[in-house]
Amino acid sequence: MRAACKKYLVLIALLQMIFTFSQQNISGKIVDDDRNSMNAVLVFNSTKNIKTYSNISGYYSIEAQENDEIRFIKEGFYRIDKIVKKETFNSQTDIQLVRAETLIQEVKIGYKPSGNLTKDSKHLDDSKKVASLKSSINDYMKSELNEPLPKSEVPKSFQGHNFYEGQVDVIKVLGAAIGLIKKATGTKITTPNYVETQDFLAKVKTDVDLSMFKKYGMSEERIDHFLAYAEKVNHLSKKYRKDFNAATILSELQTAFAEYSKLNKLGD
């Protein structure tokens, strides 16, 4: 009988020990950077999916076992994760949460008026209503007229007798005829193809005096490079291949050379 009681007591003791170890808690206090107690901090055992909150004094207590992961979470502060060690149960586990850095939005400084009305007006934004009104006015001004405008002339009843009425205006007829002749005989500007462009540049090298460019130490290869630049920028072949004028072309080349010399090192 006594042996049976002993076995029974040993069994109860073992069960109590198992229950005690299985129900271990860790506890402590949570403070901020300034050592102030923090309440309502979420204490979360992610291993067992158990959570609790710190009280008004910053104290917490949560069920945990060795190797459990405990997370301390508070909005506005960096999260802290703790792995439960064997020695954790022997003492209080205090936690200090560090306040998260707050990113300050970039502040754009508005335009500072200089006193120059023309300059300042470009930087001042119109209100939405003014901008809408301007847009409506621009659309109206660009739209076609629905009604013909009245002619600015003296009524016939107040005019004197027109001795030329019913007669042909010879000067106007001659002017119109001359205009038609010029239009028919004038050179039509068209875009050249590759062969026409190369022929034009070859003619420029033979018929236009390019000696001034050689004075700057430009080789034949460099002059070819410059002519290609001038052609690309000023469209010389389009304007002058059908109406070749050496003096005019040289003038255009001199103008183009002023910009070319800024962009390229001469004499290479």
> Which of 61, 96, 131 is the last residue before a domain boundary?
96
DSSP 174: H
> Which of 96, 119, 145 is the last residue before a domain boundary?
96
* Mean pLDDT, residues 185-197 taken together: 80
Query: Cβ neighbours of residue 138 under 8 Å, at least 6 residues apart?
Result: none
Cα separations in angstroms, 25 against 31, 65, 238:
20, 8, 91
Is 214 a member of any domain? Answer: yes
* Mean pLDDT, residues 4-24 taken together: 63
Mean predicted lDDT score pLDDT of the chain: 78
Cα separations in angstroms, 1 against 5, 7, 13, 73, 253:
6, 10, 19, 56, 127
Is 170 a member of any domain? Answer: no
Phi, psi at 213, each rounded to 5°: -75, -30
Is 210 a member of any domain? Answer: yes
pLDDT of 142 reads 61
Is 15 a member of any domain? Answer: no
For strand 25-31 and strand 59-63, is the pairing parallel, antiparallel, or unpaired? Answer: antiparallel
- The structure's pTM equals 0.35
Question: In the chain, how many domains are there?
Answer: 2
DSSP reduced 3-state for 267: coil
Of 21-30, 121-130, 253-262, which range is least confident? Answer: 121-130
Phi, psi at 62, each rounded to 5°: -145, 145
DSSP E strand boundaries for 98-199: none
pLDDT of 151 reads 62
Is 7 a member of any domain? Answer: no
Digit-coded pLDDT (tens) for 58-117: 999 999 999 999 999 999 999 999 999 988 888 899 999 999 876 556 666 666 666 666
Residue with tokens 């008004």: 56
pLDDT of 145 reads 56
pLDDT of 61 reads 95
pLDDT of 223 reads 86
- CATH code, domain carrying 78: 2.60.40.1120
What is the distance between the alpha carbons of residues 238 and 235, in angstroms, rounded to a whole number? Answer: 5
Digit-coded pLDDT (tens) for 82-97: 999 988 888 899 999 9
Domain that holds residue 73: 25-96
Is 212 a member of any domain? Answer: yes
Cα Rg of the chain, angstroms: 48
Is 158 a member of any domain? Answer: no
Is 252 a member of any domain? Answer: yes
What is the distance between the alpha carbons of residues 53 and 224, in angstroms, rounded to a whole number? Answer: 83
For residue 265, is pLDDT > 80? Answer: no
Digit-coded pLDDT (tens) for 210-227: 888 888 888 888 888 889
> Which of 96, 123, 150 is the last residue before a domain boundary?
96
Query: Cβ neighbours of residue 210 under 8 Å, at least 6 residues apart?
Result: 204, 223, 253
